Amino acid sequence: MSQTSHEMVRTAETTALRVASRNYQLYDTGDIAGVDEVFAADLVDHNPVPGAAGAVEGMRFLVEQVRDGFTGTEHRILFQQELTGGWVVNHWRMTATHTGDAFELTASGKPVAFNGTDLVRVVDGKITEIYHVEELLQLTLQVAAH
């Protein structure tokens, strides 16, 4: 039985939303190996990690920093919408406890909560392009507060 074109579009939408959400599971579980499952080898990162050899390596670095610097990490998607062309926008909130050194911030033992927004493009089941903005000032102020 063949799918109607509407059913195929719904399947693609579901895949894009699922892959876009899987990105946050990597951070919550510290699954560095999963980066290769979620991101395409030729990923374009419009906000690249300084000093990273490439975009995928930058994603590995970010997952590693969250894994090593925080415990009880949880990302909650506050808003998610699929757009045309495989694009998905996510607005999220990360909560955790800052228990290790990460992002040049010395472990503080303090609870943190900050938001971010990502715009990702999913093609053939992998993220091929990403724009990401994290509210790092919120994070920095929370770990530095007395």
pLDDT of residue 6: 41
Measure Cα distances from 61 to 7, 68, 84, 113, 133 in Å: 37, 10, 30, 20, 16
> pLDDT tens across 80-127, in order?
999 999 999 999 999 999 999 999 899 999 999 999 999 999 999 999
Domain of 59, in residue numbers:
5-144
Please compute the mean of the pLDDT values over residues 45-54 and round it to a whole number: 95
Strand partners for 142: none
> pLDDT tens across 37-49, in order?
999 999 999 999 9
CATH of the domain at 100: 3.10.450.50
Inter-residue long-range contacts of 6-13, CB under 8 Å, 24+ positions, other chains counted: 12/86, 13/82
pLDDT of residue 10: 46
Binned at pLDDT 50, 70 and 90, residue 65 comes out as very high
pLDDT of residue 146: 63
- For the chain, the domain total comes to 1
Element (H, E) at 139: helix 136-144
**Is the pLDDT score of 30 beyond 90?**
yes
Measure Cα distances from 109 to 72, 87, 106, 134, 135 in Å: 12, 37, 9, 21, 19
pLDDT of residue 145: 74
Sign of CA dihedral 89, 95, 96, 100: positive
